[in-house]
Structure 1
């Protein structure tokens, strides 16, 4: 079985998968954390690998940027490849003064300015939340490793270059910790299918302080969140 976006055959992808936006981060995780690695996808250079972490089978695959891209890959992984636990490992921008560069966020929920959930024709607003099972485990793993994490709400935005550059302050004012572009679609797809999803983010830049990491740092140095995610396998 293959799809238009994934050349993997049935059985080549583990039930637990890590989903970085950057396919090069997927390659980094596979090369530095997994054993007996097999590449299962290179379509559109959206690299995917399956290997073993501490004896347990786990996969990792890039998803690209934005909810349309995450929506495609996560849907196919769930419905065509039987994935049960989908863990986004991504970067985000901080909206809060006390959420610093390299801090880790466990996204309990995702706000959005996207119309992604309109497909469900719900008579209201869908609140996209993480799997409590994965969230609880991730927090315990972080605590055991003495990794400080923040648990809370983030924004999944369709817009990177906003015509109103100060609008982020409205989200900050209501307690949103930071912004990324994929979690809402992941949580919605997982909820509809009855599987588990969690988003773990490392702060790559701050809209408050204007600090930022380099692309190479985002690819190769956000290892603490990778370790937390891999321990969930």
Structure 2
């Protein structure tokens, strides 16, 4: 068994809401903890796997080195951080929940407490709008966002009389995953699942599980009956739908070199390298949905593949590996 280290050297966790918060612009407690994820310096590694649910995070954590300390922190806002080592390399696994805002909280707050480059891989679930069937894995090498256009819904009379120039859903431009990182994931997943079960392509990140993914709900006027076909018209290469990858790629593209210390050797334009992969749980072409047993079996294998890709990815500068880091504490 790994040595389990909880927050505050094994004492019961105290929420940051009981600590004094400072700086309304970027809230942080007087102990250096960020507001939502609640981590501080030395509790998150430079290499991170982010997932949606806690169960998947715990499943992946079973592969971490048994002879290294394991740190767990569950925040009041629902984030779970597990940090340890895999093949001797510091790794964090962070469950964030679902959606664009949760990804934004996670990336920004973790970036603020970790020195050096970050390599972040999202592993989650998705719906397929292409050839991938349930149980397949999709490596999302790029993503665009689909967001509900709230202005469109402001005047029902205009909509029904077709007087509005607004469209019910907006499509963004495409943002890309880091090419070296996603290719490492792709290779590891193909080695684990076979070439026929791994697809690589463009993803649509939606701001709703329902309306902006084209699901029908008679309780609301969503005007989304043609949304899936509209996706094919605008981005015919799109093969999957989910709710987080675009924000991860967008923030990686928007990241600066500011968090890097001791960066005299190399000035990096972007300090975050990001990639994403997801198992297909919903086939929007056949209307098939995956069984829970199959999900469990797939993520067991996928977890190890993603960990292997992450530790094999080179980072130029990482957080100082000192005794204050939780992965070094006994």
Same-fold call, TM cutoff 0.5: yes
Alignment of 1:177-192 (within 5 A): 177-192=239-254
Alignment of 1:38-187 (within 5 A): 38-82=71-115, 84-96=118-130, 98-114=131-147, 126-145=173-192, 147-148=194-195, 149-162=198-211, 163=222, 164-172=224-232, 174-187=236-249
Structure-2 change in CA distance of 1:151 and 1:25 (3 Å): same
User: How many pairs align?
Assistant: 222
Cα distance in 2 for residues equivalent to 1:142 and 1:129: 19
What's the Cα RMSD here? 2.1
Q: Could you say which residue in structure 2 is the equivalent of 1:203?
A: 280
Runs of at least 5 residues in structure 2 that lack an aligned partner in the other structure: 1-31, 149-171, 212-221, 256-269, 312-330
TM-score of the two chains, using structure 1 as the length reference: 0.86
Cα distance in 2 for residues equivalent to 1:63 and 1:87: 13
Q: Helix, strand or coil: the match of 1:114?
A: strand
Are residues 1:4 and 2:47 paired?
Answer: no
Contact 2:51 2:95 in 1 (8 A): yes
Structure-2 change in CA distance of 1:37 and 1:220 (3 Å): farther
Summarize deviations over 1:93-122 as a string: whole Å, max 9, x none: 0101x201111111111011239xxxxxxx
Q: Helix, strand or coil: the match of 1:222?
A: helix
Contact 1:95 1:169 in 2 (8 A): no
Runs of at least 5 residues in structure 1 that lack an aligned partner in the other structure: 116-124
Contact 1:25 1:220 in 2 (8 A): no
Contact 2:50 2:93 in 1 (8 A): yes
Summarize deviations over 1:155-181 as a string: whole Å, max 9, x none: 000122222244123324512111000
Structure-2 change in CA distance of 1:210 and 1:70 (3 Å): same
Contact 1:200 1:225 in 2 (8 A): no
